[in-house]
Amino acid sequence: MRALNKHTFYNGALKCLLLHFKVEPEHYFRAPIAASHGLATVVTLSDGAQMFANRMRKNLKRMRKWARRSGISCYRVYDADLPEYSVAVDLYENRVHVQEYQAPSTIDERLARRRLREVVTVLPELLDVSAESVYVKTRKRQRGTDQYDRQDQKRDFFEVQEGGLRFKVNLADYLDTGLFLDHRLTRELIRDLAPQRDFLNLFAYTGSVSVYAAAGGAKSTTTVDMSSTYCGWAKENLELNGFTSHVHQVVSADCLKWLEQHSRKYGLIFLDPPTFSNSKKMDDCFDIQRDHVALIQNACRLLTDDGVLIFSNNLRRFKMDFAGLVDYEIEEISQQTIPLDFERNSRIHNCWKISLVK
* pLDDT computed for residue 59 by the predictor: 96
CB atoms < 10 A from the CB of 116, how many?
A: 18
Per-residue pLDDT tens over the stretch 290-317:
999 999 999 999 999 999 999 999 999 9
d(CA 100, CA 137): 6
What pLDDT sits at residue 81? 95
**Segment 119-136, tens digit of pLDDT:** 999 999 999 999 999 999
Residue-level length of the chain: 358
Annotate 129-161 with DSSP letters as a single string.
--GGGEEEEEE----TTGGGSB------EEEEE
The two beta strands, 165-170 and 198-202, are unpaired
Residue 155 has what pLDDT? 81
* Gap between the Cα atoms of 257 and 255, Å rounded: 6
Nearest to 23 by CA among 53, 9, 49, 43: 43
- State mean pLDDT over 81-105: 93
- State the pLDDT confidence band at 103, using cuts at 50, 70 and 90: confident
CB 350 within 8 A of CB 313: yes
pLDDT at 102 over 70: yes
Q: Which residue has the higher pLDDT, 266 or 153?
A: 266
pLDDT at 23: 73
Structural domains for the chain: 45-140 (3.30.750.80), 157-356 (3.40.50.150)
Q: Letter for the amino acid at 215?
A: A
What are the angstrom distances between the C-alpha of 265 and each of 205, 250, 301?
A: 22, 17, 8
* DSSP output for 45-99: PPHHHHHHHHHHHHHHHHHHHHHHHHT--EEEEEESSSTTS-EEEEEETTEEEEE
- For 241-253, the pLDDT digits (tens) are 999 999 999 999 9
Average pLDDT, stretch 28-40?
Answer: 40
Q: What is the tens place of the pLDDT at every residue in 211-254?
A: 999 999 999 999 999 999 999 999 999 999 999 999 999 999 99
pLDDT at 147: 47
pLDDT at 30 over 70: no
